[in-house]
Chain A
């Protein structure tokens, strides 16, 4: 959506108005001057006569006639057509932003209101208050005082004529009134849309230029709600307070209720479109927890579907092929790569199950643990530990840290693998022992299964421990999981 379009419509409307006005003004001034020159004078000074007083009383009628003749009223009528374009843009904006179809009948009262404001300001009360009455008073004084007609004509023509130094009175009235009307029309419609459709946020849009106000910059660049320029209605009073305290040019008594009209202050060119915050702030639906069915005894499904198992692990298990069998084993738990079966010791818990399932995933992936990145990570972590425990006995140190803590079984077993079974047999820590770890391939297999176990169990302590002592293995494990 083109958020700068309203500014362009307004700029274009004002540019055309100004060009037209530049043709109106000299004609109007000439007629006023001609009319002034018809006052009776003596020796060049105005005479306080019945004729001159009567002439004064027809000033308003004369001015209106001169405006008509100079093309002013046609210019105003032409300007009013801009409200149709602004209305069409508002309809488009509401359709695009909120899916709301704003009808012409909805817009018409606001259009009438805006048109009436323009007419009042440019042809009615505004013209009386700002042009006709002040000039008439000046003339009355001049007639009463018998002032020089030349001085009066010079003064009045000077006030009406635009020069480099200042705008003529009529031009100032016209441009200010038209600018206000254009800016207010959008604001009034937006305010009505917000209320009618119970919209709970505003989208503050428009361009930022060198002399933009601090509050406008703040609101146009607002990002805290995930959408540039989105301000929640409930936060609006705080924002207005911020502008009152830190910004400039705010219109007094600006409230959330009239914010669409007043926006960032006098002559603010920004627009506050009412919107539904839900269109931009999406509430994240709770992710559906994957349900795993392995196809064997339900107690194994329950291990995997346990809340302590991560959703990522559940998804991975669901996605990959399943073992040929999972069954109860009398004395120990194991995975047989040849038959692709898992035997679970009857008292073994979900931790052991995830360890064995890690073996299965490793094996199903054609020995993921033997990928060169993973085996290199093993060597890198040996060097990492060498540096970490320089001058200390790593086995004593880590036994102290891990002994009796089930969350560190896996880390202990990895250390046992790295020590070729020493940690298990000499330090009575968790591990597979010397005979088992004679095989380097089995070291990699167990490392994979241990990390899979910690990862799948969402076990923060275990994962942090593994990341601390085996950062390369953990990183490569995650890289492997991403490829599955």
Chain B
């Protein structure tokens, strides 16, 4: 059960996310590492659109951290 069971999100996707999807035909991979800095996330995604390089926060992790994250051992 979550809030979406009770409330319909009427907002559109954030514009920079929409722009990203239009550019790369897929959503950016956001794993929550900038949870308290949405401005950095926005800036990073805008940079990705500008540079043409996909945005994947898993790439910011080391191999070991990536494995840990995928196992659910890394918390942000």
A residues with CB within 8 A of B: 331-339, 351-352, 355-356, 359, 363, 379, 382, 385-386, 389, 393-396, 409, 413, 415-416, 418-420, 422, 424-437, 439, 441-442, 445-446, 449
Given contacts A393-B7, A396-B11, A424-B35, contact A332 B60 (CB under 8 A): yes
Contact with A along B25-51 (1 / 0, CB 8 A): 000011111111010001000000000
- Asked if residues A331 and B33 are in contact (CB atoms below 8 Å), the reply is yes
Which of B6, B11, B75 has most chain A Cβ within 10 Å?
A: B75
Contact B72–A393 (Cβ < 8 Å): no
Q: How far is the CB of B29 from chain A (nearest CB, A)?
A: 7
Check B76–A332 contact: CB distance below 8 A.
yes
A331→B76 CA distance, assembly (Å): 12
Give chain B nearest CB distance to A438 CB in angstroms.
Answer: 10
Main secondary structure of the interface of B (DSSP, over half): loop
Question: 5 shortest A-B CB distances, which residue pairs?
Answer: A432-B32, A436-B32, A332-B33, A338-B73, A433-B30
The listed residue (A395, A413, A418) touching B11 by CB distance below 8 A is: A395
- Residue from the list B1, B35, B65 in contact with A430, Cβ < 8 A: B35
Could you say which residues of chain A place their CB within 8 Å of the CB of B29? 435
Say whether B22 faces chain A, with CB atoms less than 8 Å apart.
no
- Give complex CA distance A420, B6 in Å: 13
Task: Give the complex CA separation of A260 and B48 in angstroms.
Answer: 88
Contact present for A441 and B14 (CB under 8 Å): no
- Inter-chain CA distance A256–B42, complex, in Å, is 76
Is B53 positioned at the interface, with any CB of A under 8 Å from its CB?
no
**Bound complex: CA A356 to CA B74 (Å):** 11
Complex Cα gap A419–B6 (Å): 10
**Can you list, as one digit per residue, whether each of B5-33 has a CB less than 8 Å from chain A (1) or not (0)?**
11111111110010000000000011111
Which residues on B sit within 8 Å (CB–CB) of A430? 35-36, 38
Cα–Cα, bound, A396→B12 (Å):
12
**CB <8 Å contact, B9 and A432:** no
Residue pair A336, B72 in contact (C-beta under 8 Å)? no
Task: Report yes or no: B1 in contact with A382, Cβ–Cβ below 8 A.
Answer: yes
Beyond A395-B9, A395-B11, A427-B11, is A432–B1 a contact (Cβ under 8 Å)? no
13 pairs, CB–CB < 8 Å, chain A vs chain B: A334-B33, A335-B75, A379-B1, A393-B10, A394-B6, A394-B7, A413-B35, A416-B35, A422-B4, A424-B38, A425-B17, A426-B14, A427-B9
Q: Is the CB of A334 within 8 A of B72?
A: no
B38 touches A334 (CB 8 A): no
Give the chain A neighbours of B76 by CB distance below 8 A: 332-335, 432, 436
Q: Is B63 an interface residue (CB 8 A)?
A: no
